[in-house]
Structures are given as C-alpha cells and as structure tokens.
C-alpha cells in the first residue's frame, strides 16, 4: 500500500531511512521547519536551513522515488525572541515560490507564553498575506490542552483563516474534539514516549472516524520510527479494518490536504 508521511524531519535522518521508507511504500512526505536541538544564533542560520530543506532534501528523496515537500517558519521553541522572529519572517517570502514549499509550519506554541503567541500570530499573518496552507504544532504533555485551546481560539478570531486549509498536529484524546468541531484537519503523531502509540491512534479512529484525519511519524533525531505510518496500517489491519479505510487515512487524506497547494504532485 502506498502512503504519505505528512510530518517528518528528514534533515535529522540518514539516506538509508529514505530507502527503507520507499521500499515500504512511501510516495511522498512533508518536512516542517523545526527546532535544531539548540536555539539558532542568527537569522542567517535559518536562511541556510531553508535552503537545505528546499534543495538538498528533495534531491535525496527523489533518488528513491519519494516526493519531498516542506514548510517554513521559526519554530515555536524559538518564538520567545521576537527580534529574531521578525528577521526570519522578513525573508520567508523569497522561499515560498520554490516548487516544494507547501506553506507555513510547523507553527504553534511550546510553553504557551505571550511571546510565543505573538510569534504564532505573526506567522498566521504571513500565511494569510501569501495565501499559504498552515501546519500547526501543539504543545507536549501538560501544556497540550491549554496550548491547543489558545491556538484554536486565535485562529477562530481571524476571519481570513479557512479551517480546511489548516492542519493541527499532535492531537490527543482530550484535544481532538475542539480541533474537529472548529473544522480544522487533525494530525495524530505516532511517536514513542511523548506522543501516541499505535493502539491509541487506532482507538481514536474507531471513536472519531477518519474524516480530515492524518497520521504521521514526526521522526527526528529522538527515539522515533520512520516507518510509523505503515506500522499504523498494520495495527489497523489487526483490528479488522479494511484496505479502503486504511488507504484513506495514510494516503488519500494527506493528499487531499496537501493538494490544496497546486505544487503538490505525487510521483508516477
């Protein structure tokens, strides 16, 4: 079965991961801009990073028949520095016309502070100004509900935002209702320890259904699994779910969301 991973950080993975993903049926993936494991020292470092994920990574993926797309932003963990945020936002538009850029992301909140929210709103403004899709990061663990609620409320206050053009990621049982009721796309992240196990994700599908729902690995330099999406497909099969439902979640749904950007094309 072909599948798409809507959220991966391949800059932190090896070329062998691309090969194994391709052999397991991955046809496309998208890489949101994220924290590098340290706070970057200047806007110039972001400029180099954006060049990397819009040039080098697409070529690495193409060598294995995978379409690589990306999203651009200053990650929420670095959103406390509004001066740096403004510098980075100033040059993001020069990258938006590159053929593999789908939109602005992953933006959101980390510790749910006032400055993080200012940075988030500034990114939303940029996305609306340039008619971009938005991919959103919600906080981890104890800040999950509070941060997700603030994100959803901020988006609902902005009349320019079309919910169907926004995917709110890292949803869990206590946040999925507010995301879906507001009309946004929902992402479930299949990541050990800090996010969601396979069985929990299958439980959510069984309770809430598959409409506007995607699953992803968010694989990075931490303990993570590049083949989490096909592992989810296997967990669905073990529960007795058919190929049509599984294909909708792992392929058709992400293709429908990404397909709102005319640059998104699946190889073959």
Instruction: Give CA–CA dist 189/171, Å, rounded.
Output: 7
- Indicate the Cα dihedral angle 146, 149, 154, 156, nearest 10°: -170
As for how many domains the chain has, the answer is 1
Average pLDDT estimate for 136-157: 95
268 domain residue, yes or no = no
208 domain residue, yes or no = yes
Question: Model pTM greater than 0.85?
Answer: yes
> What token pair was written down for 149?
């609620």
What range does the domain containing 103 cover? 3-258
Which string of b and e fits 127-145 if b means at least 16 CB within 10 Å?
A: bbeeebbbbbbbbeeeebe
Average pLDDT estimate for 92-111: 97
Are the C-beta atoms of residues 216 and 30 closer than 8 Å to each other? no
Nearest to 98 by CA among 137, 52, 160, 43: 52
265 domain residue, yes or no = no
Instruction: Give CA–CA dist 138/140, Å, rounded.
Output: 7
- The CB density around residue 237, as the number of other CB atoms within 10 Å, is 14
CATH number at residue 151: 3.20.20.140
pLDDT digits (tens, 9 = 90+) for 12-51: 999 999 999 999 999 999 999 999 988 999 999 999 999 9
264 domain residue, yes or no = no
Predicted confidence (pLDDT) at residue 177 exceeds the cutoff of 90:
yes
263 domain residue, yes or no = no
Predicted confidence (pLDDT) at residue 157 exceeds the cutoff of 80:
yes
14 domain residue, yes or no = yes
267 domain residue, yes or no = no
């Amino acid at each position: 079965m072909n599948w798409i991973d809507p959220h991966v950080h391949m800059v932190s993975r090896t070329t062998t991961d691309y090969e194994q993903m391709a052999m397991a049926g991955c046809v496309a993936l998208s890489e949101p801009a994220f924290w590098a494991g340290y706070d970057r020292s200047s806007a110039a470092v972001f400029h180099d990073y954006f060049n990397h994920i819009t040039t080098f990574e697409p070529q690495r993926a193409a060598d294995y028949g995978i379409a690589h797309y990306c999203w651009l932003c200053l990650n929420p963990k670095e959103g406390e520095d509004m001066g740096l945020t403004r510098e980075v936002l100033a040059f993001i538009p020069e990258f938006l016309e590159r053929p593999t850029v789908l939109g602005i992301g992953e933006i959101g909140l980390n510790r749910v502070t006032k400055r993080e929210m200012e940075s988030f709103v500034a990114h939303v403004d940029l996305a609306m100004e340039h008619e971009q899709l938005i991919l959103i990061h919600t906080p981890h663990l104890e800040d999950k509900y509070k941060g997700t609620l603030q994100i959803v409320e901020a988006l609902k206050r902005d009349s320019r935002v079309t919910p169907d053009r926004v995917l709110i990621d890292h949803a869990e049982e206590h946040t999925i209702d507010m995301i879906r009721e507001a009309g946004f796309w929902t992402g479930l992240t299949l990541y050990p320890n800090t996010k969601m196990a396979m069985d929990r994700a299958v439980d959510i599908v069984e309770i809430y259904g598959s409409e506007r729902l995607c699953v992803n690995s968010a694989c990075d330099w931490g303990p993570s699994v590049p083949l989490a999406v096909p592992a989810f497909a296997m967990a669905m099969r073990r529960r007795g779910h058919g190929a049509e439902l599984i294909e909708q979640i792992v392929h058709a749904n992400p293709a429908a969301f990404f397909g709102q950007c005319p640059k998104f094309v699946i190889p073959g």
